A = this chain, B = another copy of it.
């Protein structure tokens, strides 16, 4: 509705963003989307509808069985974005992709998976059979989201030790609370280096809080920033430079 009535300078698809988990990560995605979109004039940037809803229940707690499911909230956000005119959806939270089935069943527009896009990006830089280190939230690890997606691409996931994973979990909650990232960055780098020491040929920032505190120049191996990868892929899909995979539609 919104989309049809506003002046269009192009025929790009309108992107709907299920966000707010945390809201910093949503701002980071929008900034990266703008940065990776080739334009000759402001009006050529993609239209983006964002529902930044930090009240979505904690995904890690829900997956651990210690909290209510975020699925009903995510479904309603997705429906709201489709109603407002979104032609394709993304969700700026890797762990929340545990609930992507519910989202896909609630809408008719495609839902582009940050997990699949990040793992495709890994497969472009890491040879078959090699190891990819995961910097991911506890719910994401517990659900095996990235482990399975990597294995489907014949890549081997490398996880943090339980102790290091516990340290990582603390860090991401500190980032969510807006702690200054310059205090957190060295600790994040230390954890990333552990994954490299364990044989990782590349690392995935598989939690949207990670790139807020870790960047490529901190690391001796390629860092796949899932947020940035998703942004790059959205530009290609929205501009129809590549077809949206059928697996991203309701099924």
- Taking beta carbons and an 8 Å cutoff, which residues of A are in contact with B? 1-2, 5-10, 20-24, 26-28, 30-31, 33-35, 39-58, 68, 72-73, 76-77, 80, 83-85, 176-178
Contact = CB atoms under 8 A, between A and B. Distances in A.
Contact of A9 (B51, B55, B83): B55
A52 B47 contact: yes
Contacts of A176: 42
A51 B85 CA distance: 10
Which of the listed residues A9, A68, A80 has the most CB atoms from chain B within 10 Å of its own CB?
A80
Tell me how many chains of this kind the complex includes.
Answer: 2
Given A6-B55, A7-B72, 12 more contacts: A2-B76, A6-B77, A7-B57, A23-B34, A26-B30, A30-B50, A31-B31, A42-B177, A43-B56, A46-B54, A47-B52, A80-B85
6 contacts: A22-B34, A23-B42, A45-B54, A49-B49, A80-B84, A84-B84
A6 B50 CA distance: 15
A22 B2 contact: no
B73 A6 contact: yes
A20 B47 contact: yes
B54 A43 contact: yes
Contacts of A33: 23
A53 B45 CA distance: 8
> Nearest 7 pairs between A and B by C-beta?
A45-B54, A50-B50, A2-B80, A27-B30, A27-B31, A48-B52, A23-B34
Nearest to A47: B53
Contacts of A77: 2, 6
A127 B31 CA distance: 37
Contacts of A20: 45, 47-48
Contacts of A52: 30, 45, 47-50
Nearest to A52: B48
B24 A31 contact: yes
A55 to B, nearest CB: 5
Given A24-B31, A84-B80, A55 B47 contact: yes
Contacts of A76: 2, 5-6
A147 to B, nearest CB: 25
A101 to B, nearest CB: 19
A58 B30 contact: no
